[in-house]
């Protein structure tokens, strides 16, 4: 059956995606991704030399507390990835644990992606790639088995949607020559200012249960639903802030013995929208713990999300 494709810009915002009864604000931000790794030194070598992260802070292990490194973009203070050392943590087998599949580092431009691609080629590091229609992406695997996507978005005016408002995804070959050409003669200098965590992708056990947590309760729109075994959810019409797939269904949930995602952060515009999201999750029967940093909710597979507020609500 042929699907009529439309320009993303041709549909009003309310027709893009499937909206829950109470949805997240259109402007959200993914904050720090907290990972447990087996060797901090080994991970830092990869995240700094290969991926181009800058080391923002580092602490050594003390009794009861792990050694920690915080990574971001040079010249900025925003922590994008926080690594906690857990000596002896098991590496992640391919599709072998429910939990994180990949974290995705969003570069500001195609030229930046081209610079990154030249850089990893010069290091002799294996990198996978794909054209997703709305983005151009590369994929690497870190020393613990985490997949890292490094990508750039096309302008929304170039995205496509179906008549039903589903954002169209693809798994086409990357135009590597075009991406490299976009870089010109510029050399990689590490992650450029403007780099963010663009999205996260999780291995989960059930699409229905995932939709109940992330769509109905938390409030993400379902943006893409026709991919085999996956849902892509986002806010503000973005192609996806989260990917949710059952491609590893039947595998065990990551445990404290494994390299794993400890927590991810979802930042909402203000305390009112944060508290409303926490209340929806709690009302739906999900565990929501109060912490000094903010409410932390846990999905059916132990994936924890810290809900943050960019600004305090007026008293």
pLDDT at 257: 93
221, 17 contact by CB (below 8 A): yes
- Collapsed DSSP state (helix, strand, coil) of residue 9: helix
pLDDT at 1: 44
pLDDT at 205: 96
User: 300: closest CA among 219, 208, 199?
Assistant: 208
* Domain segments of the chain as ranges: 5-26+91-257
Average of pLDDT values for 261-270? Answer: 97
225, 166 contact by CB (below 8 A): yes
pLDDT digits over 57-107, tens only?
999 888 778 899 999 999 999 999 999 999 999 999 888 889 999 999 999
User: 108: closest CA among 31, 49, 192?
Assistant: 192
| Length of the chain (residues) | 315
Cβ neighbours for 231, distance < 8 A, ≥ 6 positions apart: 207, 210, 211, 215, 222, 224, 225, 243, 244, 245
pLDDT digits over 174-185, tens only?
999 999 999 999
Tell me the pLDDT of the chain averaged across its residues: 95
pLDDT at 65: 83
pLDDT at 136: 98
pLDDT digits over 202-227, tens only?
999 999 999 999 999 999 999 999 99
Dig out the tokens for 16 from the structure: 């893009």
Rounded Cα distance between 66 and 40, Å, is 10
Q: Global pTM?
A: 0.96
Q: Following DSSP, what letter does each residue of 147-171 receive, concatenated?
A: EEEEEEEPPGGG-EEETT-PBP---
User: 214: closest CA among 235, 196, 228, 193?
Assistant: 235
- Chain centre to alpha carbon of residue 35: 13
What is the CATH number that goes with domain 5-26+91-257? 3.10.180.10
User: 100: closest CA among 8, 203, 197, 31?
Assistant: 203
């Amino acid at each position: 059956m042929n699907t009529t494709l439309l320009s993303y810009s041709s549909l009003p915002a309310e027709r893009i995606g499937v909206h829950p009864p109470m949805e997240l604000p259109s402007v959200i931000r993914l904050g720090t991704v907290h990972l447990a790794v087996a060797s901090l030194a080994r991970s830092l070598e990869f995240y700094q030399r290969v991926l181009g992260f800058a080391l923002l802070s580092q602490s050594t292990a003390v009794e009861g507390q792990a050694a920690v490194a915080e990574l971001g973009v040079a010249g900025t203070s925003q922590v994008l990835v926080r690594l906690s050392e857990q000596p002896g943590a098991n590496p992640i087998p391919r599709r072998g644990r429910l939990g994180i599949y990949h974290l995705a580092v969003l570069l500001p431009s195609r030229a930046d992606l081209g610079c990154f691609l030249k850089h990893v080629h010069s290091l002799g590091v294996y990198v996978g790639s794909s054209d997703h229609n709305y983005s151009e992406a590369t994929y690497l695997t870190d020393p613990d088995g985490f997949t890292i996507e490094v990508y750039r978005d096309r302008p929304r005016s170039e995205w496509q949607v179906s008549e039903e408002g589903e954002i169209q995804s693809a798994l086409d070959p990357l135009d590597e020559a075009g991406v490299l050409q976009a870089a010109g003669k510029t050399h990689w200098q590490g992650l450029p200012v403007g780099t963010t965590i663009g999205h996260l992708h999780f291995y989960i056990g059930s699409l229905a249960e995932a939709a109940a947590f992330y769509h109905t309760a938390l409030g993400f729109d379902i943006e893409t639903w026709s991919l085999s075994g996956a849902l892509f959810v986002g806010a503000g019409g973005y192609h996806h802030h989260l990917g949710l797939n059952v491609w590893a269904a039947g595998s065990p949930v990551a445990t404290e013995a494994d390299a794993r995602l400890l927590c991810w952060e979802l930042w909402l515009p203000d305390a009112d929208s944060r508290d409303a999201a926490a209340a929806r999750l709690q009302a739906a029967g999900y565990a929501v713990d109060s912490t000094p940093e903010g409410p932390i909710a846990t999905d059916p597979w132990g994936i924890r999300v810290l809900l943050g507020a960019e600004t305090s609500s007026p008293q």
